[in-house]
Every structure is written in structure tokens, then in C-alpha cells.
A and B are shown apart, each in its own frame.
Chain A
């Protein structure tokens, strides 16, 4: 079974400042890793995913994440945030087999302050 932890429930940051949203996971099997973003009153949309290969993954809207197997982490970063990045961010994991469910973290609410 897998589990996901997002230690920060809320992250306020000033516009144009860098941000890091933390995600740690536990799993007894190999996993795929995802970050989703949810803008107000919308569903979730995929930001980026790690499947294999390079541990640094680039996504949409200037976000990137780094997979660290030894620390079982998949932290999300952006060097300079914009007001429009204000949203809820969810880290998720899924095992490699077709019938594995996606396990979501509790989410981190990012608030960008002008």
C-alpha cells in the first residue's frame, strides 16, 4: 500500500518569490508520481508526472519537481510565482500495475500575495 504526506497545508508567498511545496511518500513497490493543481471551483488538472529516467521533471506553468528515491520525496518548485498560481496542489502516487489506485495527499493551499 502507498501513502502520501504533504507537510504544509498552507503556503503563503509573495509574488515573484520562489516556492517549494513538499511531498513525501511511502510504498513497498515502485511508483509513478504526479502533481495536480486545482484552481478555485474547478477539478484537478495534471501539472507534471514522474514515470522513470531523469529525476528532474518539468511541467506546465513553469513548475518542476525532483524525484529523490532515497528520501522518498517529490517536491514541487517554481522559481518565481505569479498571482495566478494561487490554487490547491495535490501530490499523488500510483503503483506500477494496471489495477493500482491513485493515492492523493491532503493538498497544499498556495496563496500568492501581491
Chain B
């Protein structure tokens, strides 16, 4: 069974801190994604990666960066956290070469910036 694990379920940080959100998948998926989820806005793509050391901007990359040093791990970085980055963050993964397969999601990290 596919497992996507996000390191924290709940996280509280202060404005200006550098914040790391970690995601690990165990299915050898090439693609990995970071979304944020806000009420009424659904899922918005922040960044994604098709392979190790590759990254592509999604729809709302401002204020975020990512790192993919190993195939199974995809990190989201908030360089200087701000209160408008309080949100639910979801990581997902999928096979690159099998377009008809769905994404598999982690349980999410609920991040609060004070």
C-alpha cells in the first residue's frame, strides 16, 4: 500500500522563522507535489518535482522553496514565515509515466504562524 508520510500533523511557528515541512513516500514515485488547502479555495499547487533535484513552480510559489535531494523525500521551505501562510499543507506523489494513475496524499500538516 502506498504510503506518503508528512513529518508533522500540527506545527506552530512564529513570524519570520524559517520553517521546514518534510514529506516521504515509499512507492518509488517520480512525481511529488506540495499543495496548500484553504477553505473555499480548494487545493492550490505550490511546487512540484518530476525527479531528483528537479523542481517546478506551481500556481502560488511566492514565499516558498523546495528541496528534492533524494527520490523519496520532498521538502517544503518557508523562508520567512508570515501569518498569511497559516494553512493546511498537503504532500502528494504519483508515477510520472503513468498519467492515468491518481496522486497519493499524506495526511497533511496544519501549520499556524503566530
Instruction: Show the binding face of A for B, using Cβ within 8 Å.
Output: 9, 32, 34, 36, 41-46, 49, 51, 90, 94-102, 104-107
Q: List 22 A-B contacts (CB under 8 A).
A: A9-B40, A32-B100, A36-B102, A36-B105, A41-B107, A43-B4, A43-B92, A43-B105, A43-B106, A43-B108, A44-B92, A46-B102, A96-B100, A97-B99, A98-B96, A98-B99, A99-B96, A101-B45, A101-B48, A102-B103, A105-B42, A106-B41
Cross-chain contact A107 with B42 (CB below 8 angstroms): yes
A42 — which chain B residues lie within 8 A by C-beta?
A: 107-108
**Please, which residues of chain B bring their CB within 8 A of the CB of A44?**
43, 90, 92, 103, 105
Residue B97 is within 8 A (CB to CB) of chain A in the complex: yes
A99 touches B90 (CB 8 A): no
User: In this assembly, does B50 line the interface, its C-beta being within 8 Å of a C-beta of chain A?
Assistant: yes
**Residue of A at shortest CB range from B98?**
A98
The complex places the Cα of A49 from the Cα of B102 at a distance, in Å, of: 8
In addition to A46-B102, A102-B103, 6 A-B residue pairs with Cβ atoms within 8 Å of each other are A32-B99, A94-B99, A98-B99, A101-B45, A101-B58, A106-B41
Shortest beta-carbon distance from B25 to chain A in Å: 12
A45 with B105, Cβ < 8 A, contacts A9-B40, A90-B43, A104-B42 known: yes
Complex interface: chain B residues within 8 A of A104 (CB):
35, 42-43
Tell me which of A41, A51, A106, A107 contacts B100 (CB under 8 A). Answer: A51
B73-106 interface mask toward A, CB cutoff 8 Å, 1 = contact, 0 = none? 0000000000000000010100011111011011
- A90 engages B42 (CB within 8 Å): yes
Docked pose: A34 CA to B94 CA in angstroms: 14
